Structure 1
Amino acid sequence: MAPAAPAKGDTPAPQAVPPKRPPPRTPQRRKRGWLGPLLLLLLILACAFFAWQWWQGLQRHQGDWRAAVAALQHGHEQLAGDMAAEHRAATERMAQMEAELAAREQAAPVSGEQHWLINEAISLASLAEQQLLLTGDPEAARRLLRAADEVLARSEAPETVRLRAALAADIEKLAAADHVDLVAVMLRLDGLQQQVPELVLPRRERTAVPAAEQAQPVAPSATPPSFWERLLSRLPVQVRRHQGAVPLPLEADSRQLLRLNLESVLQEARLALMQGRAPLYDAALERADTLLAEWFADSDPAVIAFREALAELRAVPVTRALPDIGDGLAALKQARAGEAQQ
């Protein structure tokens, strides 16, 4: 029997909606369900592996550090033992030397006093020689040698007569020496050395080569070049040959080398003067004058004044201002060596 139709104007009763069922799980969703824990497990295993590797490396480094510390401690102990042994040996040597000195002083007290007097005289004679070389003052050097002679005069040993005679000969050499202000000479050499960059080089053109010589071909050599000739031909060296005088002005490098050569010659003269070597001093000034005459302009006022200054410096009696006073010092040192052998 069919249900009665709802009356007009009546609201239809709501019908019940059946609940929705979840869709069934597919195999892909099931795979995603166990993939996450697997990745997490792999990450934990990787972290544990790297942590284990780091721990093993740390243990190895700690073992190396412990070995290094042990080696340093062993080396320190060994060094301390060596230093203690050396200290004991040095103490024993010092005690032995003190005993020997005490025995010598008790056996021969006069020789000990003689030794100290000779040492003091050697010090004064060395100061006299240095004073003469540095300042060129013979009077100051003579005063020092007289002080050394007075020191030896306090000794009653017969051998001091020979030493005093050697000192007297040196004192007479200083009395005959000329007083020359060597400091002023060295300062003048320094001033000349500073003037070298301002010197003027002359201008000399290249000598013209005749046309016949220019056109003349070079005949080939009958003999093959040697090994050294082939080697020199490959080197980056340029050999220039000029007919007659070298053309001027020179290149920049050549001019610089020429001025450096002149400065080095002046420096050599200064060093020879400081060492008291008069022949080398005169030879250096002569070479400097030769360089000026050969390479620099003769008409330049600076070059003329430079050469005049060199002539004045060459006229200084350096040989008589720096006499050889080493005989007394050598005799004193020989006497001290003889005492040491005894």
Structure 2
Amino acid sequence: MRLTSTFTTCLLLAAPALAQNAFRPLPAVPDAFAGAAGPTATVASSYMEELEKAASAPRPRSFFDARAFGEASASSNLDGGGDVATQRGGWQVLFGSRLADERLAAFSVSTEAWFYNFGGANQLVPGNSKPFNDLYRASVSGVVRTPPTEGAGWFAGFELALGGEDEASPRDALVAGGVGGVHYVASKDLAVDVGIAVLSRLEDDPWIWPFLGLKWQATDRLSFEARGTTLEGRLALDEAWSLFGRAEYQLRQFRLNDNNPLPSGVFRDEEIRAGVGVSRRGGDGFEVELFGGLNLWRELSTLDRDGAKQSELEVDPAPFVAFSLKLSV
């Protein structure tokens, strides 16, 4: 499936039906799960982090979120020649409920499409300057945690995701992750999470890292939050509007199909980016967020089907813009 890779296309892909139909391996994901994760306009290295954030927020006994999102990065030069510009669009939904013992359980599903526009001669896949364009990802995740009351508690979560090129093997495109740890609520203004997270990598060793979370309401208007690979500071202007600054690390990995110039290989996209944004939350549960900034560091790499690295290219810093539309019930 070849689509015009423009920001307009990302907007179109925010529609749930279009995004779901775009991802061919999606039927392998159980339909019983539904979900989105958190209010952010960007995706972290794992949706588990966003889901855990959503589950830890004050909520009614049962809740439902639906979110559409899109983003675009400007064209930027690659090491060794050529350039790349990217766009992304998709949707997420989340539902959760408090159990009889007041523990909270939440589940999510997300589907998204990525568009990579390569220009000029590049060495990402030697011998082919445009090895792919459209890549897709679908994931389900869940988390259970004790209620956010003062004192100690625990949390645990999982994620299953399919990421790849159209017609890539679902079995070979599957990645899994898990997170678990303890949380401590010192007061209504300060809470800390400490744990371990693990994420499998296609044709590579699993990635294991400490999961650290901090939520601090410094003043009535100013708050700070760290969760996994994301840091954020937020200033509330009034009951509806807020400004924020955010820095995050992202990891994306995709399985290529058998007809690719790198048959059944792996494409990996890693970046660190930071920016500022504005959000508006209405009393009807509708929230709009706009986020923009700079990709400070980014690296694209490929591996063959046996895990041998084929290329590793750094990308020059480039600006990006992202948006999110969310409805909470």
Q: Normalised by the shorter chain, which TM-score bucket? A: under 0.3
Work out which structure has the larger RCO, using CA pairs closer than 8 Å and 6 or more positions apart in sequence.
Answer: 1
| Higher share in strand | 2
TM-score normalised to the size of structure 2? 0.18
| Higher share in helix | 1
TM-score normalised to the size of structure 1? 0.17
